[in-house]
A and B are shown apart, each in its own frame.
Chain A
C-alpha cells in the first residue's frame, strides 16, 4: 500500500502538499523521507517523467507533470501499476484544483488542504486483495495505461 505521499514543485523542490502520516509511519519512513527530499533536489527538466526508485523495503515512485512532482513511498511488493495509477489520479485532481497557482506560491505546503483528497484516494488503493478491493482493482487495472516503460533505478545508484 502507499504509505506516504509528497507533492513538490519540480523547479525548486518547494513542497506543495503532503499526506498527514501517523507517528509509526513517520518513524518507519524517516530515512526514505530524507531520500525523497534528495530526489526533489536532483530533479531537472531533463529528468525522467516517471521513475521508480528501489530503496530497501520500500520503493519511491514519482511522476512529473507540469512542473509538479508527485512522489509516493510504497512497500516494495506494491504493484507499480497501481502506484502510478494512484499518482496519476492525484495529478489530475491537483492540476484541476491548484494547477494555476503553483508557479506563484512561495510558502511551503501552500496546498496542504489537498491531503483530504490524498487520504481518500490512498484508502482506495490500500489493499490489493480482499473482496471489496477486488472490484476496485479490476476497474483500475482496466483503466491503467501502459506503464511498462517506466524506468527503474536503485537508490544507491542515485546517491552515488
Chain B
C-alpha cells in the first residue's frame, strides 16, 4: 500500500489483518500508533497545502478532494516520493484541508449534530485512511476503507442514537468540489434494514450489488414522494455474472450456492421463492410470504437432508441465508428434456472476408477453442455454413475426417440439402472431421473473387438447423448483406450526419431483422453477431437480432488480420464467447412486494407477456435494467424484490437462479436522497437514452439526459436547501451523487449521443449496443474513462500487491493534467490510449518502446514490447491488468497517441477527457454553470 511512501523517515507501516488497517511504527523508538504520523503531527502537507479551518461538520469527508485540487493546481508544496524513479516531476496529491460544511436544513437538528460528532470523532469511515492517496485499481476497494456494517453500527451506537439509525445526508456544492474519480469506486449507500428483517441475519441475505442493485437503496412509501424527489427508480441486474472479483484479481468471488434437493418452496399466491426475508409461523409449520403476506405450508422435505438421509438444519439452507441462490429444478419446470448445446457457425467467405483474414482467424480460433466449448456430457453439437452469394453446407462423417461440401445457390427459397442430423453433428463424435474442415476452410475459399453477401438466407438456413432443438447462431459477417431477404442498402450519407435525419440511420433498415428475431426467440435460437467491415455495414439493423434474441454484438471496424493487434483482439473475444458457460432456454421474471410494479424493461431479450422476459441464451455479464413504478402506498417497514431466472445450464440441468433484494421504506425525503446509488442511476440513464434514440431522435435522448440532471438538482435544491442561503451560490447535491452530473455529461459526450457530424452511424450503433448490455462495472469506465500518469507513478505501481497489480492513482479527466514530458494512459474498457508527450525524454521512449527517441515512434495500434527493464515491465503489467480486471469478454486494443500526431487520433483520445470543452460540448465547469443558470432562472426557487 501507499502508506509506505507517505511516511516520514524512520517510520514504517505494517498491515494489521485483524483490524484491517495499518499500524504505524517509529523504528527508532518502537512507538506504535494507528494514526498516520503525518496527520498526528499536523503533518507538513496539512500545513502547506491549505490553511484549513478547524475541522468541523462533515468536512473530513471532502477533505481529500479539496486537498487534491490544491495539488492539481500546483498550489501545494510537492513532496516527492522518497525513492521515486520518476521521469518527470512527480506530483503527490495532498491530504488535508477542510472547507466549511454546507448545513443541510432538511436534516433534523440531532442528525446534524450526529454529523458533526461523527466527523470530529473518527470520520465516517473510521480512521484516517479513508481515501488512500493511491487507489490500487478501479473497483478495487481496500477493505479498510469501508469497515463492516457492525463497526459502523458501533460508531452510531456510541453517539447514543437510539432506535433506527437515520441516514446521514450530506450536501456538497458541485461548483466548489472538483469531481474525484475515487468516488466511483465507493460501494453503494448501505442498505439499513430494520433489525430482524432477515430471519437468519446472514450478511449475504442481500446479494452483492453486482447481481442486483437499485437506483435508490431506500424505497419511498408513496409515489408522490418519489415524484417530488425526481429520482429515477430502477433495478439494475446482472443475474448471470462471471465470478471474476472486482476487488482482487487473484481470487474469484464465491459462487452462487446451489440447492440440489429439488425442494422448492414458493408462495401459492404470488409465486415468489422462499428467501431470507420470510417469516415462519405456526411453530415453523408454515411460512409467511414477504411479498404478499400469504401464509404457505413448509414443504415436507424442507427439514430433511436427502443426501445423508437424516434430519437437516433448516437454518443452513442456502435459500434462507443467501440473497443469491440457485435451485435445481424438478420436472415441473421443464417442457422438454434439457436441450443440448447447439452452435451453428455462419461464416462469410466472400472476397472481403477472406482478404481481411477474418476467415482464417475465425476458423483458427474455433479450432483452438473446441476444447473450451462447454461439452461435459458429450452432447454439444455444432454445424457450419459458409456463405457469400450462395450457401455452402458441410456434411461430415462421424469418426472420419471426410467432409463433403454441398452448395445451395437458390437463396430465395432456402432449403437444407440433407436432413438435419447429417448437418448438425455431435462435437465429440465428429471431432476429427470438424478439425479437418476448420483447417481447410480458408484454403477452399482463398482465391474467391465473389463479392456480395446473402446473410439473410444464411440466417434462415442456420435457423432451420438450430430450431429443432434451440441453439446459438454465431454469425461472422464482413460486408453489408446485399442478397435475398434482409438485404440492406448503404444508408450512410455524410451530409445528414449531425442533422436530425441522422437518427433514422440508428434504427433498423429492414423489418426482416426484427420479425426474424422474434421467430428465433420463439424457437429458442439466439444470434451472436461478429461484424467486420472496411466500410458501412449497418450495425444498427444487424444488432437487432442479438438484441431481441439475447445474443451479443461485436464490431471490428476496418478489421485486418495482418495487423496482429486486430487478430489478437478478435481471437481473444471470440474465444471467450465460445468458451463461456451460457444458460439456455431462459425466462426472467421480477417480482416485488405489493404496490410495486415493473413498468419497463431494457436489455437484450424479448418481452413475451407483460413482464416475462424470454432469453433463448443467457450469456454471462449481461446487464438488464427494469424500471419500477409505485402504485400503492407502502405500509411495510421494508419491501422485497426478487428476480428469478429459469434456465438450462450448458450441462443439461434445469435451474432457477433467484436473486432477492430487500430495501427499507421511508417517508423522509432526505433519507431518499442519502440512499441514491449514482452508479445505478447512470446505468439506468444510459439505457433510457439509447431507448429514446431508437424510438425518437438523438436530440430527444440528449434533452432527456439533461432534463433528468436539472430535475434532480432542482428538486434537491427546493426540497432540501430551501433554495436560498449558502447553497444559492453553488449547486447543491447529495455527496453520494457528486459524480452523477459528470457521469451524465460523460453520457452526453459519449460517441453514442454526442452532437457531431463526424461520427459514423456504425460506431454510434455499436456504442448503443454496448451501453445497453455492459454491466455497471464495465459501463462506468465506458462513460467516465480512467486516466493514469505513468512517467511519474509511485514506485509500487505496476508491481504485484495484495490485490494483484497495483495501478497508479486515478486522475481527473482533464487535459490540464497532461504534461509535455509525460506518458499517460486513458482507457474506457474498450480502448486504451497511451499518450506520449512531445518532450518525452529519449530514455523513457527507449525504456518503453525500445526506440531511440520520440520522432521514431509512430502513432496508432500498437503492441507494447516487453523489455528487460523494470519500467517496461511495470507498464506492461498495468496494461495487462487494465485488460483483464473487468468482467466481460472485451479485450481493449492499445493505441499510441503522440501529442503532435495525427489530429483524428489525438481528438479521439482527447474526447475521453470529458471534463474538457469539446467541439460542440461544454466543459464540466461550463456545464455546471449552465445547470446553475437554468435552476436559478426557472421556477425551482
- Which A residues fall within an 8 A CB radius of B? 14-15, 17-23, 26, 106-109, 112-113, 115-116, 119, 123
Contact = CB atoms under 8 A, between A and B. Distances in A.
Interface string B371-402: 00000011100000000000000000000000
A115 B262 contact: no
A116 B378 contact: yes
Nearest to A25: B468
A107 B328 contact: yes
A14 to B, nearest CB: 8
Question: Looking at chain B, what size class is its interface with the partner chain?
Answer: 20 to 34
Question: A interface, by DSSP: helix, strand, loop or mixed?
Answer: mixed
Contacts of A116: 378-379, 426, 428-429
Contact of A20 (B306, B377, B469): B469
B221 to A, nearest CB: 42
Contacts of A113: 377-379, 652
Nearest to A21: B336
A152 B338 CA distance: 31
A108 B429 contact: no
A20 B339 contact: yes
Nearest to A111: B377
A18 B337 contact: yes
Interface string B316-335: 00000000000011110010
Given A15-B331, A22-B468, A23-B467, A109 B377 contact: no
Nearest to B523: A23
Given A112-B377, A112-B652, A116-B426, A106 B469 contact: no
B261 interface: yes
25 contacts: A18-B336, A20-B339, A20-B340, A20-B469, A22-B420, A22-B468, A22-B469, A23-B523, A26-B336, A106-B260, A106-B306, A107-B653, A108-B334, A108-B654, A109-B338, A109-B652, A109-B654, A112-B379, A113-B377, A113-B378, A113-B379, A115-B337, A116-B426, A116-B428, A119-B421
Contact of A112 (B260, B261, B338, B468): B338
Contacts of B336: 18, 21, 26
Contact of A23 (B330, B331, B340, B468): B468
Contacts of B428: 116
Nearest to B428: A116
B488 to A, nearest CB: 29
Contacts of B262: 106-108
Contacts of B338: 109, 112
Interface in B79-112: none
A24 to B, nearest CB: 8
Q: Which 9 A-B pairs have the closest CB atoms?
A: A113-B377, A22-B468, A18-B337, A112-B652, A108-B331, A107-B328, A109-B337, A112-B338, A23-B468
A26 B524 CA distance: 14
B426 A20 contact: no
A107 B338 CA distance: 12
Nearest to B469: A20
Contacts of A108: 262, 329-331, 334, 654
Interface of B: 260-262, 306, 328-331, 334, 336-340, 377-379, 420-421, 426, 428-429, 467-469, 523, 652-654
B758 to A, nearest CB: 48
A90 to B, nearest CB: 15
A41 to B, nearest CB: 12
A63 to B, nearest CB: 19
Given A107-B653, A108-B654, A115 B467 contact: no
A35 to B, nearest CB: 16
A106 B264 CA distance: 13
Given A106-B306, A113-B377, A113-B378, 17 more contacts: A18-B337, A20-B337, A20-B340, A22-B420, A23-B467, A107-B260, A107-B262, A107-B653, A108-B330, A108-B654, A109-B337, A109-B653, A115-B379, A116-B378, A116-B426, A116-B428, A119-B421
A79 B334 CA distance: 31
A156 to B, nearest CB: 26
Contacts of A22: 420, 468-469
A106 B261 contact: yes
Nearest to B337: A18
Contacts of A26: 336
Contacts of B339: 20
Contacts of A15: 331, 337
Contacts of B331: 14-15, 108
Contacts of A123: 421
A17 B334 CA distance: 13
B426 to A, nearest CB: 6
Contacts of A23: 467-468, 523
B521 to A, nearest CB: 14
A109 B332 CA distance: 12
A116 B377 CA distance: 10
A109 B261 CA distance: 14
Contacts of A119: 421
Nearest to B339: A20
A106 B306 CA distance: 9
A115 B428 CA distance: 13
A21 B426 CA distance: 15
Contacts of A115: 337, 340, 379
A20 B338 CA distance: 8
A112 B468 CA distance: 17
A35 B378 CA distance: 30
Nearest to A22: B468
Contacts of B340: 20, 115
Nearest to A119: B421
Nearest to B655: A107
B337 A112 contact: yes
Contacts of A107: 260, 262, 328, 330, 653
Contacts of B653: 107, 109
A105 B534 CA distance: 54
A21 B523 CA distance: 13
A70 to B, nearest CB: 15
Contacts of A17: 337
Contacts of A14: 331
A23 B334 CA distance: 15
Contacts of B421: 119, 123
Contacts of A18: 336-337
A26 B521 CA distance: 18
A7 to B, nearest CB: 10
A115 B338 CA distance: 11
A131 to B, nearest CB: 18
A106 B428 CA distance: 27
A23 B522 CA distance: 12
A17 B260 CA distance: 18
Contacts of B260: 106-107
Contacts of B378: 113, 116
A112 B653 CA distance: 9
A92 B340 CA distance: 23
A63 B329 CA distance: 27
A119 B329 CA distance: 25
Contacts of B469: 20, 22
B307 to A, nearest CB: 8
Residue from A15, A17, A107, A123 with most neighbouring chain B CB atoms (10 Å)? A107
Nearest to B340: A20
A119 B468 CA distance: 14
A15 B332 CA distance: 11
A106 B305 CA distance: 12
B590 to A, nearest CB: 26
A14 B421 CA distance: 28
